[in-house]
Amino acid sequence: DVKVTQSSRYLVKRTGEKVFLECVQDMDHENMFWYRQDPGLGLRLIYFSYDVKMKEKGDIPEGYSVPREKKERFSLILESASTNQTSMYLCASSLRVADTQYFGPGTRLTVL
Amino acid sequence: QKEVEQNSGPLSVPEGAIASLNCTYSDRGSQSFFWYRQYSGKSPELIMFIYSNGDKEDGRFTAQLNKASQYVSLLIRDSQPSDSATYLCAVNIGSSASKIIFGSGTRLSIRP
């Protein structure tokens, strides 16, 4: 079974803080994704990575950076957190880009 | 027009009945179609995928794809209270299956 883990289930941060979210998958998948999910807006793609050190912007990349130094690990960094970044953050991985995505448990981030 | 559209619901269905969930998409070239289930506070998990026109059955679930009319549906037979969740439709959009777009989901409630 594919396993995708995320570093935290819940985080509370203050405006202006730097926030690190980490995602690890154990299935040697090439593709990894970061989404945020907000009520009424569904899943919105922030960034995806199709290989180590390769990434593409999604629909809402502003305010986020996504280092991928190793194949199994995809991080999401909020350089200076703002209250409008309060959300559920979901990481996913897939073997091919248009293939089944396997999701981690999510991180609920609150920015005060 | 959104790329992937679903009725947000809630859709209320009596226990034991058939629940029918619908999804329309805008890209006529889409090839891959997925249905995910998401329980409240949890991450999405794949129920089914379908690539070819027609029906695909898996237990109580049937996915139906009609590429000419650009819709995909999910039928749940003998609905159970445990089926109460949000169902997300996902479709590949763009040439070369470049990315997956998720609908905003339909909330399904099975009433005993």
Tell me how far apart the alpha carbons of residues A13 and A17 are, in angstroms, rounded to a whole number: 7
Beta strands in chain A (DSSP E): 4-6, 10-13, 19-25, 31-38, 42-51, 54-57, 64-65, 73-78, 87-94, 102-103, 107-111
Q: Mean pLDDT lowest for which of B13-17, B28-32, B107-111? A: B28-32
In this structure, the strands spanning A64-65 and A73-78 are antiparallel
Residues of chain A neighbouring B103 (CB-CB closer than 8 A): 42
Given pLDDT bands bounded at 50, 70 and 90, which one contains residue B99? confident
State pLDDT tens for residues B27-66: 888 889 999 999 999 999 999 999 999 999 999 999 999 9
* A90 closest CB neighbour out of B31, B43, B99: B43
Note whether A92 and A33 are within 8 A (CB).
yes
DSSP B67: T
User: Is the separation of the CB atoms in B62 and B74 below 8 Å?
Assistant: yes
In chain B, the residue whose alpha carbon lies closest to the alpha carbon of A44 is B102
Tell me: the pLDDT tens digits for A51-103?
898 899 998 999 999 999 999 999 999 999 999 999 999 999 999 877 899 99
pLDDT range class, residue A42, cuts 50, 70, 90:
confident
CA distance A35 to A58: 9
Q: Which of B31, B43, B49 sits opposite A103 (nearest CB)?
A: B43
